[in-house]
Structure 1
Amino acid sequence: MRPALPARVRRLVDTTVAFITAHAGPLGAAGLGLLAFLALYGPAALNPTRLSWLIRDDFSQHLLGWLFFRNEPLRFPLGTIDGYLHPLGTTLGYMDAIPWVALLLRPFSSLLPVNFQYIGPWLCACLVLQGAAAAWVARRMSATVAQQWMVGGLLVLSPTLLARMGMAHEALSAHWAILLLVGLHLVPQRDARDAKQSLGIALALCVFAAGVHPVIAVIVLALAVALCARTALERTLPWQWTVLGAGASVGTVLALFYVFGYLGTVHTLRAEAFGSFSADLAAFANPLGYRDILWSRFLAALPRQGAQYEGFGYLGLGVLFALGASLILAARDAPRVARHWRRLVPLGLVALGFGFFALSSRITLLGELLADLTPLYAPVMPWVEPFRSSGRFVWPLYYVLALGSVLALIRLPRPAVAPSLLALALALQVFDVNLGQGQQSREGSTWNTQPSEALRAAAVGRKHLVLYPPQMHDGSGRGCRAGPMDFHRWAYRAYRLGLTFNSGYVARLDDSRAQPYCLGLDDDIRSGRLDPETIYLSIPERLHEFQAIRGTRCVQQEQLWMCVLEPTPPAPLRQASE
């Protein structure tokens, strides 16, 4: 006879089983998100000490933001980084390093390994929460557990999210926050308690998004304010509550933008090429993604302009089927659908408004220009240029169509029909969405190698590592770009040695400070004014400038030359004459 479990253990087991049973839908859908992550990236990406796979695309930029930040004292704005792009400096926000996560980990930095990354776990969390959020919304719509799993699986297999993760934009992969807010618009508010819960969740998502990425924050804020308007229209709460909710959301996001240093000067925030990184009118049916990756196994690529991968919005065959079926069902049940039009107006206005902005000033269909709205945008260009990748703002409309169509399959048909339609949609999505892009976390070229013995010896008593010429630039090409492009390997070595580093890639750069620094560095070296606390890494073509400086020692380091100013030995003491 087995011994009885202690009462405390039995209560814990009973509580755990009850929790799992009560939340089986979201938990199961979260598991589907985990499976999708493992299929796309592999389990090795969850290893926080594995850095080498982060060499590709923008991952190294985001990783270096965290690595340099963990060696910095906390200062204002929060997330300020002086040691990277030194002496200009930058912030976690402009490194797209997810400020909230970096700040939460910062107190434990001394306990964490020197090689530590949170990009892989974050991407996994985004997919897990995507599935859980979709299933939670479906549960609020009275879906069965099986239906919740299917809705979660359909939204996990959103090509737009998977493609964004493949573009190495982990901060922009927090689509679950957008999805959850869209879902809050779609579910009914039965009473004041439901309304308060929805507005509380919306405010919490605003706080979260403000420390993740400005694009996510702006979309979440607009949806949160629209949710307040929806609540006011339905009169589930007094109007004072909705005004307070909208004001709190706007004020919180603006305050956190200021705290995180996003609200810089206008010329720093501006970006060039607005109108190029847009969405095409056929984006929802075009499976052609970044670097010409085809995200459908069945549909062919449609024409588009070169940079319109930022407006990638392919729904997938399963969601396209659900959208078509839901439109047919809605037409057959038009009177019932019309009764709910009031609560959908704020969401529709925000989704369509952002969808229009996603098309930018150059509206195209299949890559062909239909209309040039440049004069319309000209008066407000300084305010829209910071969001030059306007195609990303197609996401609210994307999730209105995706989530709305699959939820309609639950609510509109007879109960016996809904599971079959959902199962067919999920099967089409599974067979269509192409996850066979290879292991996205495959090893790149070795870049996070240890500093050489010569570099370690030179670093003793010195504070700075300087590439010459510098390679500092942002997404609009501002800055100085004459230096070597493999600057990230030297940035990593500077991090390991506790040195500042003068080069790097950031989202936004103040060119009015970058150009004087680069020109001043040229003048200093050509005039022989070297800093004894600095290690210089010169390209071979500029080595002669250092060799002409007395007291300089240069040795080759891979494809560069490491030069330092040797300290001048003290003059010998003269003996006093007798």
Structure 2
Amino acid sequence: MKIKAFFDDKHTKIYLFSFVIVLIFFQISYGLDVVLPTNIAWLLDAHHDWGTHYLGWAFYRNEPWTFPLGQMENLCYPVGTNVGYFDSIPLLALFFKIFSGILPDDFQFLGAWLLFCQLMLAVFVVKIAKLYNVKGIYILAGVILIACNPVLIYRGMHPSLCCHFFILGSLYYYLKPLDKTNVIGVNNKQVYLLLLSSLISPYVCFMIIGFNFILPFKSYFYDKLISLKRALVYPIVSLFLVLILWSVFGMVDFSDSVNLEVQNSYGLYGFNLNSFFNSSGFSSIFPALPQVTPFQYEGFMYLGLGMMILIGMSLIVLFTKKKRGAVLELKTTNLPLLILVILLSLFAVSNKVTYGSNTLLEYPLPSFIMKAGGVFRASGRFVWVAYYLIMLLTLLLFVKSKYNEKLKITVIAIIVFIQLYDIKTIYLYRDLKSGTYTSPLSNEKWSNLLKHFDRVITYPPFNNNLLRPWDYQDLCFLALKSNKAISAGYAARENLEKNHGFIDSLNTNLNQGIIFENELMVTAPKYLDAFSVALHNKTANITYLDGYYLLYSKKNKGVSPIVLDKKDQSKIDSVYNQYNKSNVLEPIDKPGFKDDFQFNIEELNATQTVINISGWVFRKGINNNQKDSIFVAVSNNSKTYLMKAKPIKRPDINEIFNKGNLDNAGFNATVFAGNFKKGKYDLGLAIKSGDGKWFFSATGNIVDIGREDFVKPGPLKKLPKSEGTIGNVDFFEVKKDYVSISGWAAFQNQDSKDNGISIVFIGSKGNFCIPTQKSQRKDVTAFFKSKYNFDNSGFASKMKLKELPKGEYKVALLIKNKVTNAEALYTSKRILEVK
């Protein structure tokens, strides 16, 4: 009897019918099989955001438990990242990680989450409708129009952002009549909504946090049901708890340098004033309308033709007093809600007001708003609150009007039909695959190779489009299946300082031909020059798979060569031939070097047999260098060796010097100097013009050819003061017989141009010092954003351990200015133990 009574209850029937409606629309939009936990094909086959979200969760479940709870090390290696930065729904990722050991290898919860979000949206549509005693037939129409709206279906590309039910839930608790029996419970529930949203989507959390201010304010100021103290405590505690949760999960870290703000991005993804009626191509009736930038898709807010007609009819009701229902008379208690919606909408529009393809107005804003806009750069989304409020009010105004009931039912049925016809494209455009995911890469060959390594280093690191768009997902999937770390991953926020530090250390090692035994390097053909030293010195093996070149140290003896077909083997043979021979032209008599060039050497690294140099150069007095060829000139007392540089497009040179066309000013060169006599050489540049004339200019740099790669330490009798310096040891690796160290150091309030850097080992048996090779660190200058230039602050060096007495040493950096002779010490946290 109880079961029968349950299904006989009219409210229960409304919920059941609403759920059926949602299930039908979900089947049409996605297919119910996306809910199956082992179905990952639809996520990874998309090669877009879905794959990112899945990989974030899949790597996270395999990580050891850490604090902060959301931290990951094997994705975006070695800097690491946070599962929250992959929009992998941190709350659910944490929950399912607890049970990871009993879950299938291919397990996803994103499909079930999408369905849950839409069902919960329907729940709150019903709840709000019940507040105003709306009849069942209208509630079901509202479920179709609101819980199955085009914005939610469109936003399915980001499952974490589909929790729109938090917005409707907040509206419900604000609109719900309060009394002494429920006021505390309702305010508490709003706090719970906020806390849950904070571990699902920071964007939605930021949207609804305003309700945690206006609801207590309404409870105190209008309803007179809580004290002023409680009205103040609610928003303060809410904010505090959100920050605590984010800190515990690692989504914010006040001691770290993760770049939460994307500078100069506020307004780029803003709301266009035509967005409510701009279908963006998803209408069966209206074409897509122009916008200022393609990034304004974040402000997609199409209402649909049916809803727009209903808005027009509801406005007629609003201004026709005889037909307007008394239930929706304007109340001052709704003023805080109106203010909140206006503020969020203004933030969405940004300070660049646009309509169509035109910018109507641009005005300055306080820095704290611009900073918030940089953190929440997809500001167009913040109209969602207004979007749902408009739809709710429109529906309520019409169904509560005093028009004939049969007329209203007929009209609402026609409205629903028009709406569904208009936006049918957005329900039907997805064609999702189902089942297990089959990578386009040769799984077996890759996995057989990967088992011999601890990690995969994609080159360049943190590049998510190495060979083809979004191919990092397939590389990450291979690493995931082999349980390996990988230096790729599309995180929403990055620690740019650490990223650049690793890239610089990696380049320093590659410039010396160093590839570590436990690392598999994966790169695309266009980046192969970065490995030229290792290939020339024959310290690396190379193979070819699925369009990628894979390189690894010859010291790793356990790797079995991959059997390649003739076509792929010919590619490998061609690479060996290219890099094994000398790329230096026959020496010429040393010409006259003049000061006829405008140039800048941006990077210079020289080892025993290789010189890497890059920068830009052009002849003074010319406005076009399109036919010029750039060469590196290495000279001793009598001879000059020339090597043709690889041209690099540099349009920025035109902008700086305001010339005609100097795009060809950039260059990059690797000089294999193994056949040179040992000694010091002057480094110069040469340009061959289009008519065959040669021009030479010195750079002022000297390179030491034939010197030992491993430097020897000397005693340091007196340690300089340790103040006024900045620096870091980014890379510190102790091998069986040597130590390799790289990083950066500088005086805190001084350009690094004239600085020399040495590494100091401070121990009980004495202090020792080794010289370093300089490297460019523009990321340091960019990070500090000061008036000082730290580009010349990078260093790298290697030393045989046997050169030091046994013992424990603190590692410090000695900085000395060559002009003023000022010197100071930067002490790192690194410890070197010589056994």
Whether TM exceeds 0.5 here: the answer is yes
Please name the residue that 1:172 is paired with: 161
* Alpha-carbon distance, 1:462 to partner: 3.1
Is 1:325 matched up with 2:313?
A: yes
8 Å contact kept, 2:512–2:533: no
* Alpha-carbon distance, 1:441 to partner: 1.9
In the aligned structure 1, how far is the partner of 2:317 from the partner of 2:21? Answer: 28
From 508, 511, 534, the equivalent of 2:493 is: 508
* Alpha-carbon distance, 1:534 to partner: 1.7
In the aligned structure 1, how far is the partner of 2:504 from the partner of 2:480? Answer: 25
Please name the residue that 1:302 is paired with: 289
Q: How does 1:56-455 map to 2 (within 5 A)?
A: 56=46, 57-165=48-156, 168-189=157-178, 191-235=179-223, 237-239=225-227, 240-264=229-253, 268-272=259-263, 273-288=265-280, 294-305=281-292, 306-333=294-321, 336=326, 340-373=330-363, 375-378=364-367, 380-413=369-402, 416=405, 418-434=408-424, 435=426, 437-442=428-433, 448=439, 452-455=443-446
Q: Tell me: CA distance 1:568–1:418, structure 2 relative to 1, closer, same or farther (3 Å).
A: closer
Q: Which amino acid aligns with 1:354?
A: L
1:297 alignment partner, SS class: coil
8 Å contact kept, 1:130–1:156: yes
From 524, 537, 552, the equivalent of 1:539 is: 524
In the aligned structure 1, how far is the partner of 2:435 from the partner of 2:361? Answer: 42
8 Å contact kept, 1:26–1:149: no
Q: Which amino acid aligns with 2:79?
A: L
Q: Deviations over 1:333-369 (max 9, x none)?
A: 3794785422211111111111111111210122211
Please name the residue that 1:497 is paired with: 482
8 Å contact kept, 1:534–1:564: yes
Is 1:47 matched up with 2:36?
A: yes
Q: Deviations over 1:78-100 (max 9, x none)?
A: 21111100011110111111101
In the aligned structure 1, how far is the partner of 2:556 from the partner of 2:173? Answer: 70
8 Å contact kept, 1:179–1:399: yes
8 Å contact kept, 2:190–2:212: yes
Q: Tell me: CA distance 1:319–1:494, structure 2 relative to 1, closer, same or farther (3 Å).
A: same
In the aligned structure 2, how far is the partner of 1:256 from the partner of 1:444? Answer: 35
Could you say which structure has the higher strand fraction?
Answer: 2
* Alpha-carbon distance, 1:523 to partner: 1.8
* More displaced 10-residue stretch of structure 1: 41-50 or 513-522: 41-50
Q: Which amino acid aligns with 1:341?
A: K
Q: Which amino acid aligns with 1:430?
A: L
Structure 1, unpaired ranges of 5+:
1-9, 289-293, 474-480, 571-578
Q: Deviations over 1:25-72 (max 9, x none)?
A: 233222212211111112332232222222322111111100100001
* Alpha-carbon distance, 1:275 to partner: 1.3
* More displaced 10-residue stretch of structure 1: 516-525 or 424-433: 424-433
8 Å contact kept, 1:471–1:484: no
1:407 alignment partner, SS class: helix
**Which has the bigger relative contact order, CA under 8 A and spacing at least 6?**
1
Between the two proteins, what is the percent identity of the paired residues? 24
In the aligned structure 2, how far is the partner of 1:410 from the partner of 1:248? Answer: 39
In the aligned structure 1, how far is the partner of 2:177 from the partner of 2:431? Answer: 39
8 Å contact kept, 2:7–2:13: no
Q: Which amino acid aligns with 2:284?
A: R
Q: Tell me: CA distance 1:82–1:377, structure 2 relative to 1, closer, same or farther (3 Å).
A: same
Q: Deviations over 1:122-169 (max 9, x none)?
A: 11222222222211211222122222212111112311111111xx11
* More displaced 10-residue stretch of structure 1: 411-420 or 130-139: 411-420
* TM norm structure 1: 0.86
* Alpha-carbon distance, 1:554 to partner: 2.8
1:364 alignment partner, SS class: strand
Q: Which amino acid aligns with 1:287?
A: S
1:262 alignment partner, SS class: coil
* Alpha-carbon distance, 1:332 to partner: 2.6
1:537 alignment partner, SS class: strand
In the aligned structure 2, how far is the partner of 1:98 from the partner of 1:549? Answer: 47
2:490 alignment partner, SS class: strand
8 Å contact kept, 2:50–2:158: yes
Please name the residue that 1:564 is paired with: 552
1:561 alignment partner, SS class: strand
Q: Tell me: CA distance 1:89–1:527, structure 2 relative to 1, closer, same or farther (3 Å).
A: same
Q: Tell me: CA distance 1:337–1:141, structure 2 relative to 1, closer, same or farther (3 Å).
A: closer
* Alpha-carbon distance, 1:314 to partner: 1.1
* Alpha-carbon distance, 1:271 to partner: 1.1
Q: Which amino acid aligns with 2:212?
A: A
In the aligned structure 2, how far is the partner of 1:549 from the partner of 1:94? Answer: 40
* Alpha-carbon distance, 1:558 to partner: 1.5
Q: Deviations over 1:536-563 (max 9, x none)?
A: 2233324644434555333322111333
Please name the residue that 2:7 is paired with: 17
* More displaced 10-residue stretch of structure 1: 481-490 or 275-284: 481-490
8 Å contact kept, 2:132–2:327: no
Is 1:528 matched up with 2:513?
A: yes
In the aligned structure 2, how far is the partner of 1:27 from the partner of 1:252? Answer: 35
Structure 2, unpaired ranges of 5+:
559-835
Q: Which amino acid aligns with 1:344?
A: N
* TM norm structure 2: 0.61
Q: Tell me: CA distance 1:71–1:159, structure 2 relative to 1, closer, same or farther (3 Å).
A: same
Q: Deviations over 1:362-386 (max 9, x none)?
A: 101222111112x225564223211
Q: Tell me: CA distance 1:143–1:32, structure 2 relative to 1, closer, same or farther (3 Å).
A: same
Please name the residue that 1:5 is paired with: none
Q: Deviations over 1:436-493 (max 9, x none)?
A: 54334247997636864443343345321111222447xxxxxxx7676412111111
8 Å contact kept, 2:40–2:434: no
In the aligned structure 2, how far is the partner of 1:459 from the partner of 1:524? Answer: 22
1:296 alignment partner, SS class: coil
Larger radius of gyration: 2
Q: Tell me: CA distance 1:433–1:335, structure 2 relative to 1, closer, same or farther (3 Å).
A: closer
8 Å contact kept, 2:442–2:545: no
Please name the residue that 1:33 is paired with: 22
8 Å contact kept, 1:33–1:129: no
Q: Tell me: CA distance 1:472–1:445, structure 2 relative to 1, closer, same or farther (3 Å).
A: farther
Q: Which amino acid aligns with 1:531?
A: F
Q: Tell me: CA distance 1:140–1:421, structure 2 relative to 1, closer, same or farther (3 Å).
A: farther
Q: Deviations over 1:202-255 (max 9, x none)?
A: 112111110111110011211232222222233252234433433332222222
* More displaced 10-residue stretch of structure 1: 399-408 or 24-33: 24-33
Q: Which amino acid aligns with 1:522?
A: N
1:376 alignment partner, SS class: coil
Q: Tell me: CA distance 1:129–1:415, structure 2 relative to 1, closer, same or farther (3 Å).
A: farther
Q: CA RMSD in A?
A: 2.8
User: What is the count of residue pairs matched by the alignment?
Assistant: 543
